[in-house]
Amino acid sequence: MSRTALIAGAGALPRLLAEGLGPDFLLAELEGQPSEVPCEALRFRFERLVPFLDHLLAEGVDRVVMAGAMRRPRLDPELFDARTAALVPRLLGAMQGGDDAALRTMIMLFEEWGFEVVGPDSIVPQMVPGEGVLAGTVTPKDAADAEYAARIVAALGSEDLGQGAVVAAGLCLALESLPGTDAMLEFARQHRGVLAEPTRARGLLYKAPKPGQDRRVDLPAIGPETVARAAKAGLAGIAWEAGGLILLDRTATVASAEASGLFLWSRAP
């Protein structure tokens, strides 16, 4: 019988996946980086990655899903076991690269141990919406802003940077970088005054995966809090690449958008 390990970081996604996995799964957390999942966790360090992988096999795990934000840890050379030490060049190379490079390396290592690495949509399919408008109405101006934002996000992604942008009236108001989506929306809120007609040119938040990204990990995500922050920034709505975004708590997110008068648009690539 298949058993899944949930490699969990910060945020709501790991908790929602845990609910979808049912009782027989193994929760694993990076030491010093607890998740919100309310059950006992196996904690691991990158310096002892091989013993951790062996332990997952011994526990009957054959499938792995990674979810949630994790900070890159500082590696302590004195803690490496001999087998993990042989992986040091790959681990250091991954950590010194961008997020996408690091995640690709981790996926490869898990697969080399025989684990199937799956995405959150394999656990809870309704988390990744298909094409369509989920709330509100998309105007031609919104569609034009989304088209421009999609090109911007693709350019960002090609450099392994952020997965989002805020565009209003055909102008880029904010870009996502290391601080994340919340910081980008706060920047957009504070700088709406640079627009010629800040009250009329409402604009939108657009999210999409990076070009060529392995979509089993690190898909962009939004939830009710994102909607609230977008409303505070004065935006008309949120758009994303259909099949390329995790919608956290779909019912609450749609209800929040409708209450705030924002649209939610799962846009065809």
Q: What is the pLDDT of residue 95?
A: 67
Contact 173, 203 (CB under 8 A): yes
pLDDT band at 160 (very low <50, low <70, confident <90, very high): confident
Lowest-pLDDT range, 85-89, 195-199, 229-233?
195-199
Start-end ranges of CATH 3.40.140.80 in the chain?
128-267
**pLDDT recorded at residue 196:** 64
Nearest to 213 by CA among 244, 175, 253: 244
- Amino acid letter, 90: R
Best CA proximity match to 137, nearest among 236, 53, 220, 227: 236
Q: How is the chain split among helix, strand and coil, in percent rounded to 5?
A: 40, 20, 40
184 forms beta bridges with none
E strands present in 16-135: 25-30, 42-44, 63-67, 116-118, 132-135
Q: How confident is residue 201, by pLDDT bands cut at 50, 70 and 90?
A: low
Range list of β-strands (E), 16-93 = 25-30, 42-44, 63-67
Architecture of domain 4-119: 3-Layer(aba) Sandwich (3.40)
Find the mean pLDDT for residues 126-135.
Answer: 95
Of the given ranges (97-106, 158-167, 260-269), which has the lowest mean pLDDT? 97-106
CA distances from 51 to 56, 90, 113, 130, 226 (A): 9, 17, 11, 39, 38
Among residues 133, 144, 186, 192, the alpha carbon closest in space to that of 169 is found at 144
18/9 Cα distance (integer angstroms): 12
Looking at residue 92, what is its pLDDT?
75
What is the predicted pLDDT for the residue at 70? 86
For residues 128-140, average pLDDT: 96
Q: pLDDT for 71-129, tens place per residue?
A: 878 888 899 999 999 988 887 776 666 667 778 888 999 999 999 999 998 999 999 99
Percent of the chain with pLDDT over 90: 74
d(Cα 179, Cα 192) in Å, to the nearest integer? Answer: 19
Residues of the chain with CATH 3.40.50.20: 4-119
CATH number given to 128-267: 3.40.140.80
% of the chain at pLDDT higher than 70:
95
Distance (Å, whole) CA 216 – CA 67: 9
Mean pLDDT within 1-14: 92
**Which residues 6+ apart lie within 8 Å of 261 measured at CB?**
136, 231
Q: What local confidence, expressed as pLDDT, does residue 200 receive?
A: 64
